[in-house]
Amino acid sequence: MWNAVTRAVSPSVGRCELSYIPREPIDVAQARTQHRDYLRVLQSVGCDVQTLPEQNDLPDSVFVEDVAIVLDEVAVLTRPGAPSRRPEVASVADLLCHHRPLLVIEAPATLDGGDVLRMGRTLHVGQSARSNPDGIAQLRELLIPYGYAVEGVLTRGCLHLKSAVTALSDDCVLLQPAWVDRERFANFRVIEVDPAEPHAANVLRVGDALIMPTSFPRTRQRLLDAGFRVTAVDVSELQKAEGAVTCCSLVFRSDP
């Protein structure tokens, strides 16, 4: 069984943090409709969905992935790189403590969950606009007792590592070579995004199912041709907030 922790869309989502895309008006009602569709897709691929209430004064709070990293043995509470996002952590911690023991990233470190890509017992962590070397080093030290390796990965031109590369299976990744060096994932089978869809690398894996935005049909076809099972969902309003499908949930096994 899979758990998926999510949070309802804040009415202030239009005031979200942005780093690499221009600001556009966000239709809050439409964003909420799309988010409900996203929750239904999570349920359809086998997730028990838990949804936290909206936080009116925290525009980015729908993007729960960034405030925690949930592993089989423990969960790590992050210290987001954007100061405006740090108040999001407490309420997620209150829920996660019922599922895992909690560890904490502390100042001066910064770390966003969107920069953490787990492949087996290795966590690839983006050194990005939101996650600094101290954050990577603290995560490495925290996880040594649990047998995880932590490897820093430089990113360029994107918000998070998982903007540039995500897992399709235990041995295959979807990658945008303009934003992360393909050689860093040479030990894996690599499928590149379609060049016409530069933002298409963010795909959510739940077991052997994949979820991706409807806005990337060419890249989706590449995944279908490779034999993957893919469900597409419209998250176009949340994409205006520099979000996608991984960042709207914390997905983990209830029985690791």
Give the per-residue pLDDT at 118: 98
Q: What is the pLDDT of residues 65-104, one digit of tens each?
A: 999 999 999 999 999 999 999 999 999 999 999 999 999 9
Is residue 129 pLDDT above 90, yes or no? no
Structure tokens at 161: 């590592």
Give the C-alpha separation, 179 to 211, whole Å. 21
Q: What is the pLDDT of residues 2-27, one digit of tens each?
A: 999 999 999 999 999 999 999 999 99
Name the percent of the chain lying above pLDDT 70: 100
> In CATH, which superfamily holds the domain spanning 2-253?
L-arginine/glycine Amidinotransferase; Chain A (3.75.10.10)
Give the C-alpha separation, 56 to 195, whole Å. 37
Q: What is the mean pLDDT of residues 158-164?
A: 97
CA distances from 138 to 37, 48, 101, 113, 123 (A): 36, 31, 17, 14, 13
Give the C-alpha separation, 40 to 66, whole Å. 21
Q: What is the pLDDT of residues 52-75, one digit of tens each?
A: 999 999 999 999 999 999 999 999
108-142 b/e (C-beta count within 10 Å ≥ 16 → b): ebbbbbbbbbebeeebbbbbbbbbbebbbebbbeb
3-state secondary structure of 119: strand
Q: What is the pLDDT of residues 194-224, one digit of tens each?
A: 999 999 999 999 999 999 999 999 999 999 9
Place of tokens 């869309």: 9
- How many other β-carbons are positioned within 10 Å of the β-carbon of residue 28? 15
Give the C-alpha separation, 151 to 172, whole Å. 18
Place of tokens 């904490």: 104
Is residue 170 classed exposed, middle or buried when 0-12, 13-18 and 19+ CB atoms within 10 A define those classes?
Answer: exposed
Give the C-alpha separation, 236 to 244, whole Å. 8
Is residue 255 pLDDT above 90, yes or no? no
Q: How many CA atoms lie within 13 A of 115 on its CB side?
A: 30
Is residue 256 pLDDT above 80, yes or no? no
Which residue numbers are catalytic?
160, 247
Residues 223 and 204: beta-carbon distance below 8 Å: no
By DSSP bridging, strand 122-127 and strand 229-233 are: unpaired
